[in-house]
Structure 1
């Protein structure tokens, strides 16, 4: 395993665990967003889907973290993230103004920034899976590991606060 694989494993696991913790802290926001996205009127359906989503995210994070299952976990994370991107893109295309509850309560509706975020996370997972599959295992240096872990932590923060970063650099006069 080399630094790219370590970076992708830490970043993807961090994003998924943070998303799970956020969903567990505010499940009603996620339930209503999922129900609205799927046009399901019944709350129990939304509640079940939230539980399924939490289980999927936690399961993929566990696969990514465990060394023996990391390649499969990163492949599953790629599919999960690109699936999220497709789902969000469909919502954006339909011009639905549903808040993004990915990392806790939010007023920011799903938009292109969320599609880009999920595509990028999927690409990071795919790159990590490829690195594990095709790169020879090499010894990691402590300094390189520290830098990689810092980069992964910054990546998790960037993903979690992508709405705020986008708002910071977007034109306030445009609505």
Structure 2
């Protein structure tokens, strides 16, 4: 059963990192906005260089999760998410107004929603790292489909979390 949790975590985290990387690379304006947000979230780092490294790591995580080295992908994802979460918490606590560019264009500033979203992703990375790394033992088609659907659902919920919360937030 653990291998199905691992597979679901691979799907969910893979989807999140895919959308995250693509949303930053889909155009010059989107990447420029991400560079600007990176500079605001990590002012001690060179913004452009840090942004390039972040996107490269996101792509590397995606590749690793789709390979026999998925365990390494989960560890790298966890470390990157820990860095993101730290930067987000510091921004929220310090009252910085920074637009979240995690999944492309955003009209909301970073806040506890993004922090909690990252905690969910950290749990997903931990669950994946603890699970088995082989998909060879996934013989039960029913459980495989459940794991696939669960991973896709969690990934989509994370990516769309700001939009979903926005649906229930009063218009100002």
TM range (shorter): 0.7 to 0.9
What's the CA shift string for 1:24-82, capped at 9, x where partnerless?
02101101111222337x9xx32222111110111122112212x11121122122212
For 1:107 and 1:59, how far apart are their aligned partners in 2?
Answer: 28
2:88 counterpart of 1:84:
no
2:37 counterpart of 1:36:
no
**How many equivalent residue pairs?**
167
Query: What is residue 64 of structure 1 aligned with on the other side?
Result: 65
Query: What is residue 151 of structure 1 aligned with on the other side?
Result: 150
Gaps of 5+ in 2: none
TM-score (norm 1): 0.86
Query: What is residue 112 of structure 1 aligned with on the other side?
Result: 112
For 2:109 and 2:18, how far apart are their aligned partners in 1?
Answer: 22
What's the CA shift string for 1:84-109, capped at 9, x where partnerless?
11110111001111000110111110
CA contact (8 A) 2:138 2:144 kept: no
Q: Secondary structure at the match of 1:132?
A: coil
What's the CA shift string for 1:126-167, capped at 9, x where partnerless?
01111227x9x8443112212211221111211111112222
| 1:119-138 correspondence runs (5 A) | 119-132=119-132, 138=137
CA contact (8 A) 1:2 1:140 kept: no
Runs of 4+ in 1 over 4 A off after TM superposition: none
Query: What is residue 166 of structure 2 aligned with on the other side?
Result: 167
CA contact (8 A) 1:2 1:138 kept: yes
For 1:53 and 1:160, how far apart are their aligned partners in 2?
Answer: 17
Note the aligned Cα RMSD (angstroms).
Answer: 2.2
TM-score (norm 2): 0.88
